[in-house]
Amino acid sequence: MIRLLRPRLVLAGLACAAGLLAGCSLPPLEGRSASQALPAAEARETPLGRAIEPLAQQHPGQAGIHPLTDPREAFAARVQLARQAQRTLDVQYYIWRGDTTGMLLLEALRAAADRGVRVRLLLDDNGIAGLDAELAALDAHPQVEVRLFNPFAFRAFKPLGYVTDFARANRRMHNKSFTADGTATVIGGRNVGDEYFGATDGVLFADLDVLAVGPVAQAVSTSFDGYWASGSSYPIAALVGEPSAKALAEAEGRAALAQRSPAAAAYKEAVQRLPFMQQLVEGRLPLVWAPTQLVADDPAKGLARAGREQLLIHHMAEAIGEPARSLDLVSPYFVPTDQGADYFAALAKRGVRVRILTNSMAATDVLAVHSGYARHRQRLLEAGVVLYELKPDPAGDSPAGAPAEAGRREGRGLLGSSGSSLHAKTFGVDGRRVFVGSFNFDPRSARLNTELGLVIDSPLLAQQMERVFTERVPAGSWQVRRDPESGTLRWIDAAQQPPAELASEPLSRGWQRLAVMLLSLLPIEWML
């Protein structure tokens, strides 16, 4: 079901409950354990390190990149990294579901810890609904520590935390990384949950991760250390207490049940069938070697203490440079603001080809975000920006051109599988550089949430994205155009012959269009 607002936008109405939280506060951080990522010299001596080092020496200063567009391969990559790790696993996510894939990955972390691997799991507290018991049980393992970013002191009903400490609670950790032995890391847009790995009949997010090996993995580990030691990261044991024997037994029972489900069997089979980790260890995995830079927000942003030069958006602008020929951008939550719309318009007016793919009203899961985008469409189109809006129907052609069922289960092309909602966050510049990460082009990513991603200087990957926009995006989306005489918008469906032209937001309802119009009048863009 489409939501009118993201949950944070309606929490102000809970102010009357503030009295319930009197006396609730976060525990002190004194006494919190200290730890650091595996030093580079030790990382090179692990099995993963020994396998990758000869390849890295052939490409000094570069990273080996393997795109993970297939959702099951993306799941398998994480499980196989957990199985391959010998010394450390550093794992950082915004959302971790307690569903089939979420439970399987928690068990993969536990199995690694049983082998003696040190596991550090850092999760945003806003995205772990119902998992306190499971995470506390995992944290009880002597080789595991779980921390929560900007946690809510009142555990029974977390939204009340926005009432007493809105300024902090409104800042979330949106980073996503999975790093083994400081040597190989998965970075991208996927959270952990069935909808991100193609294991659900509901919303399937078309998404993109990359496996990266080489020096950039050490950079990710260093970034993780900063977040792990930040003033926003609290040991879960200090928030929920140590689990009782009964709670541990119940958590183990739920995990065992998830392991035995038919969906789990299918995913276990995928892990065994997909050979890429074995190929990596044997030096046979096709890797794109390219200069690659990690860009990340300083964790101080989580407490509103980061300066402009500590923000990802500043580092990204330096790493990417100014587009001279083309900019192809994919963002599920695209809210450019007046400043951003002016920037894209200026690029287009000076001859830079700007193409943007975002969710249509029918595909988005947050109508408020669509309102923040829709109010800028006229301005962008007038300047010559090309706008595509993803179709929601998984039975139709995807941007990657996959049939319905294949699109649900298999990735096709740089933007991943078909689905009913876009979630990939990537862009290509001048057919040369690509960004892959967690950053949405919206005010929340720029100013409130912490983010992380890779800037990859690879003409091969950037030109793949250009071909996707040219050859496949038109079939899986509606192109929005402006009638030059009337100024009204039209949605063009190029998949039909002749192309169909629609006069209103496709597959939308009247109440949705009215809601978007009303939401666009509210001063909420800074929160989107």
Helix (H, G, I), strand (E, B) or coil at 495: coil
Strands 489-493 and 500-502, sheet pairing: antiparallel
Q: Which residue has the tokens 């020929």?
A: 325
Distance CA 153, CA 483 (A): 53
**Hey, what are 309's tokens?**
């030069």
Distance CA 519, CA 275 (A): 48
Distance CA 457, CA 326 (A): 15
Helix ranges restricted to H, 391-500: 404-409, 443, 459-467, 473-476
Give the type of residue at 178.
F
Q: Which residue has the tokens 């005010």?
A: 443
Q: Are 425 and 207 in contact (CB under 8 A)?
A: no
CB-CB neighbours of 467 under 10 Å: 14
- What's the Cα-to-Cα distance from 253 to each of 247, 260, 278, 374, rounded to whole Å? 10, 11, 32, 47
Rounded to 5 degrees, what are φ and ψ at 209? -125, 165
What DSSP state is assigned to residue 446? I
User: What DSSP assignment string belongs to 129-187?
Assistant: TT-HHHHHHHHTSTTEEEEEES--S--TTGGGHHHH-HHHHT--B---EEEETTTEEEE
User: What DSSP assignment string belongs to 266-287?
Assistant: HHHHHHHH--HHHHHHTT-S--
Q: Which residue has the tokens 């930040």?
A: 230
Q: Are 392 and 28 in contact (CB under 8 A)?
A: no
Q: Which residue has the tokens 């009964």?
A: 246
Residues with Cβ within 8 Å of 197's Cβ and at least 6 positions away in sequence, in order, are 71, 72, 74, 75, 101, 190, 267
Distance CA 15, CA 18 (A): 5
222-261 burial, b at 16+ Cβ within 10 Å, e below that, comes to: ebbbebbbbebbbbbbbbbeebeeebeeebeeebeebeee
- What's the Cα-to-Cα distance from 58 to each of 233, 293, 458, 489, rounded to whole Å? 38, 18, 17, 52
- What's the Cα-to-Cα distance from 56 to each of 280, 289, 293, 434, rounded to whole Å? 12, 9, 15, 20
Task: Catalogue the active-site residues.
Answer: 174, 176, 181, 423, 425, 430
Distance CA 349, CA 363 (A): 29
